[in-house]
A = this chain, B = another copy of it.
Amino acid sequence: MTDTSPVKWHLAHTTWFFETFVLEALNDDYRPFHPDFRTLFNSYYHSVGSQHPRPRRGLLTRPSLEHVFQYREHVEQAVTAALERGDVGEPLQPVLDLGLHHEQQHQELILTDVKNLFAQTCLESAYANAPETAVRPTAPLAWKSFAGDIHRIGNDGSGFAFDNELPRHRVVIEPFSLADRLITNGEYCEFIEAGGYRDPILWLSDGWAILAERGWDSPLYWSGETDSRRVFTLNGSRHLRRDEPVTHLSYFEADAFARWAGARLPTEAEWELAAGGELKEGNFVESKLFHPRPRPERATGAEAMQLFGDVWEWTRSPFAPYPGYRPPAGALGEYNGKFMANQMTLRGGSCATPRSHIRATYRNFFPPDARWQFSGLRLAKDG
């Protein structure tokens, strides 16, 4: 799967970020740890130079893992020393912050990429080992209404935020309702059994073409038929639990499910409006479950809508610039802005996201056919 990278590469790339954008910026005569690493661990920054081809990252036998750890140690010490010397002032402080959030993003990717790799083997591979709990009935889905108005979304810039969350701006939101929880595996099974993957009327045109080409008939990592479905997880292969939120869906699948259910996906503005009033609690990577968790039956208050954690929620909003958006000057301008075509926005973080990484204004984005992230869905409807 050419979208994924080896763990070793992620470890080195996040260090490369600090070396390139902090250490090199601090010292014009900076001597890199290894001259070839500049190309090898550059992901997509054309401003920095050429890149090792992405699909060949898996073929790197050198540097060794040990060598990568030396690289990390070396760069970390140099950055720490610079901080202690007070060398890192404006404008480098925000770059350092960005580097930390960047590393958090790759922590999540390490988990999703390892999962994808393990799933290639028919042998039993497990990254973690979480105990099973009893399956409980899913509470009926309820709708929470929101009044239409002129609202403000986007980050106000008082804390850390990626450039794509800025600026905070006005939007018109018409009255809408949002489901009070995520869609479950059980509900998704009903969609499958009702012929959801065989009815072109439910699908976007591009989605139907991809479904046919790739032979999709269920979410990624599912196997088996109706009564004996199994799912590959970071805890190994397990029986599918009907009470868990469905995950590893493409946008096309989430959108088709919503159409089948007589509803639609929320816009990112709707989602953000709803999330703005919620405490940021949920099932994050710190739970070490590495799997979406059924919603507690009588959730109240903070976690009431299961908006944060568990699974990234596909929205119907294409990833586009906010009014007044300006990417930073230089190479860091390549961080987000150049991906603003052919991608859809996801919100809320997942069970593989660090809690401190997520915000109500956070915009994740992937192409509509991507399925290897922990991506699921919540329904919305007009009025």
Contacts and interface: CB of A to CB of B under 8 A. Distances in A.
Contacts of A170: 172, 174
Interface in A303-349: 316-318, 320-321, 323-324, 333-334, 338-342, 344
A320 B61 CA distance: 38
Given A172-B170, A172-B171, A324-B382, A205 B338 contact: yes
Contacts of A200: 46
Interface residues of A, number: 57
Interface string A186-208: 00000000000000110111111
Interface string A34-65: 10100110001011000010001011111100
Contact of A342 (B34, B46, B368): B368
Interface in A154-173: 169-172
A320 B368 CA distance: 14
B61 A121 contact: yes
A120 interface: yes
A310 B122 CA distance: 40
B174 A172 contact: no
A321 B265 CA distance: 11
A134 interface: no
A251 interface: yes
Interface in A245-265: 251-252, 255
A118 interface: yes
B205 A44 contact: yes
A299 interface: no
B40 A201 contact: no
Nearest to A116: B59
Nearest to A47: B201
A59 B58 contact: yes
Nearest to A152: B172
B39 A201 contact: no
A204 B170 CA distance: 26
A61 B321 CA distance: 40
B125 A62 contact: yes
A142 interface: no
Nearest to A205: B338
Interface string A229-258: 000000000000000000000011001000
Contacts of A338: 203-205, 208
A150 interface: yes
B174 A323 contact: yes
A83 interface: no
A340 B204 contact: yes
Nearest to A57: B120
A120 B59 contact: yes
A302 interface: no
A277 to B, nearest CB: 21
17 contacts: A34-B123, A40-B122, A40-B123, A46-B208, A47-B201, A59-B121, A60-B120, A61-B121, A171-B172, A172-B172, A174-B324, A201-B333, A204-B338, A204-B341, A255-B341, A316-B320, A316-B321
Given A171-B172, A208-B338, A341-B368, 15 more contacts: A34-B123, A47-B201, A61-B121, A61-B125, A169-B174, A172-B172, A174-B324, A201-B334, A204-B338, A206-B341, A251-B341, A316-B321, A318-B341, A323-B382, A324-B382
Name the 7 nearest CB pairs between A and B, nearest first. Answer: A318-B318, A46-B200, A59-B120, A62-B123, A170-B172, A205-B338, A62-B121
